Amino acid sequence: MKYPLILGFGIVALDVVVWRLRVPPNELIRLFIRLTLFSALSAVLFSSGLNPFTQAPDAAAPELHWLGQIVEIIWWLMGARLLTLSLDTLLLPSTWRKQRLFSDVFGAVVFLAAVVAALGFVLALPVRGLVATSGALAIVLGLAIQSTLSDVFAGIVLNTTEPYSVGDWVMIDDVEGRVVEMNWRATHLLTGQGNTLIVPNAVASKGKISNNSRPANVHGLSLVLEIAPEARPRTVLEALRRALTGCDIILNAPAPYAHMKRTTVNSVQYEVVAFVDNMDKKLAASNELFDLCYRHLASSAIPMRALGVPAPVESTHDAKEALLKRVSLFESLTGDEVKRLATRLSRHEYQEHQVISAPDTVPDSLSIVASGVLSVKFTEPSGEREIARVGPGEAFGEAGLLAGLPMRVSVSTLTPSVLYQLGKEDMTAFLKDHPEVARQMCQLLASRQDRLGKLTTPIPEDHETHQSIFQWLVGKVWHQHSLHDEPHGPSSRQ
């Protein structure tokens, strides 16, 4: 064969082009092309007398001799790389390929063997002495990098036993995050704060590992609450069960539950356990569930207590006033206004699964939930669909009472409930004495127009184009309640 060196280096250059430019894009096809090029290089070398298992000929021509040595060494390294790629692409499971540990370790071993073989066969160096020297050097290096070697072998154990894989949500000791990478040294976690945390494999193999992604689509969360020991456990557990019922983010199966966990000197600890189907919902579900527990406990007159802190001195508060202060609609009221409005509230009790408000009706009163869980449902052509659950401290019917807007949803109880209602006449009498409160309520309703679109009919477009939603609501309230002062323009409270 003429010019074998030129042909051999040409094949090597073509392989480099396929490798660096990643053409074609398909990994398997690219591997077979490179294997074909390696076979062609082997045929060129063996047919021209350039045997990679012996020194290159043409010792009389040093330039040709060294070029032959180089192409034979390239043959060994190229074969080592293709052997690693073949194992990685054709034999290793997909999960092992993502973790890269086995392919990296195997590639390092194969490359080391290829280098030793090239030194022994192509360059005819004394491999035995080199191996003996490298063994002593390996001992010295092993002592110097023993922590790194510990991570490597721990990584092999983790990849073999597979307590977690890339994409899983795990907790390693007290660190929680999603596994984004596993390599020969460490596991990379993406934490809930968006930071990357690197856990050495030696630490992970010795720590407690909790895999929140197994079994799939079921992830638990728990809240520990400290309650005053004077509170009756049955009352506390019923309030916590109502809180679990009111949280529509959590799963119904496995069933959530609440139980008494332990007692301390100053309090009794209760644990609330629930489950979600996606780890991304865990934070939102925990926050919502804690808020619901707080509200349902408050509706049962059960105070929560800071961990290990003695009970504060009890002070008496009117239940109606305390309820009004928790309603966002009345956040702007002063203490005297809250006290006056509380005297106009009437108490109503409802049994389980009782309809409180039907669709397309204009509520004649504002309903404030004192205890219990209510379901808000919207009727579609395919049937009823629950869009929200209402708990203590939440109100509904305010748009109908203030502006005469009808509701297009139905509201019914899921548990026995207690509601306080404020009728139209009482609201009108209150607003006549406090018209500035009406403006602030209209401003709040205007800012919550997204919720108005869900819980009531959309605001009509019959107002003038230059008129804002707030101005339109103010006009409707003034007309609805026959208020006498000027409804337009902003006002400030002294």
pLDDT in tens, 460-489: 554 444 456 667 767 777 777 777 655 544
Average pLDDT of the segment spanning 309-318: 57
Tell me phi and psi for residue 229, to 5 degrees: -65, -20
For all residues of the chain together, what is the average pLDDT?
81
Predicted TM-score (pTM) of the model is: 0.58
Of residues 312 and 436, the one with the higher pLDDT is 436
User: In percent, how much of the chain has pLDDT > 90?
Assistant: 26
Question: Boundaries of CATH 2.30.30.60 in the chain?
Answer: 163-211
DSSP 3-state of 445: helix
Q: For residues 415 and 373, give the distance between their C-alpha atoms in angstroms, rounded to a whole number.
A: 6
Of residues 472 and 174, the one with the higher pLDDT is 174
Return the CATH number of 163-211, one of 1.10.1040.10, 2.30.30.60, 1.10.10.60, 3.40.50.9100. Answer: 2.30.30.60
In this predicted structure, the answer to whether residue 456 has a pLDDT above a threshold of 60 is no
Per-residue pLDDT at 99 = 58
Query: Contact 370/392 with Cβ under 8 angstroms?
Result: yes
- DSSP conformational letter for 485: S
Of residues 149 and 232, the one with the higher pLDDT is 232
Could you tell me the CATH superfamily of domain 319-481?
Answer: Jelly Rolls (2.60.120.10)
The domain defined by 219-299 carries CATH number 3.30.70.100? yes
CA distance from start to end of the chain: 103
In this predicted structure, the answer to whether residue 494 has a pLDDT above a threshold of 80 is no
In this predicted structure, the answer to whether residue 21 has a pLDDT above a threshold of 50 is yes
Q: For residues 246 and 390, give the distance between their C-alpha atoms in angstroms, rounded to a whole number.
A: 7
Query: pLDDT confidence of 490, banded at 50, 70, 90?
Result: very low
DSSP 3-state of 336: helix
Residues with Cβ < 8 Å from 55, sequence gap 6 or more?
A: 69, 121, 122, 123, 124
Of residues 271 and 169, the one with the higher pLDDT is 271
Residues with Cβ < 8 Å from 391, sequence gap 6 or more?
A: 242, 243, 246, 292, 295, 296, 369, 372, 373, 374
Query: Contact 295/391 with Cβ under 8 angstroms?
Result: yes
Query: pLDDT confidence of 139, banded at 50, 70, 90?
Result: low
Per-residue pLDDT at 384 = 87
In this predicted structure, the answer to whether residue 240 has a pLDDT above a threshold of 90 is yes
- DSSP conformational letter for 361: B
Q: For residues 402 and 404, give the distance between their C-alpha atoms in angstroms, rounded to a whole number.
A: 6
Structure tokens at 410: 């139905």
Question: Boundaries of CATH 3.30.70.100 in the chain?
Answer: 219-299
Interstrand relation of 169-172 and 175-182 (parallel, antiparallel or unpaired): antiparallel
Q: In which residue are the tokens 């004649």 written?
A: 364
Amino acid occupying residue 369: V
396, β-bridge pairs:
367
In this predicted structure, the answer to whether residue 38 has a pLDDT above a threshold of 90 is yes
Closest-CA residue to 474 (of 446, 434, 454, 432): 446
Question: Boundaries of CATH 2.60.120.10 in the chain?
Answer: 319-481
Closest-CA residue to 368 (of 316, 324, 430): 324
DSSP 3-state of 355: strand
Per-residue pLDDT at 241 = 94
271, β-bridge pairs:
224, 259
71-80, 345-354, 364-373, 424-433: lowest mean pLDDT where?
424-433
Of residues 78 and 317, the one with the higher pLDDT is 78
Q: For residues 298 and 323, give the distance between their C-alpha atoms in angstroms, rounded to a whole number.
A: 9
Alpha-carbon dihedral angle through residues 243, 246, 249, 253, given to the nearest 10 degrees: 80
DSSP 3-state of 210: strand
In this predicted structure, the answer to whether residue 357 has a pLDDT above a threshold of 70 is yes
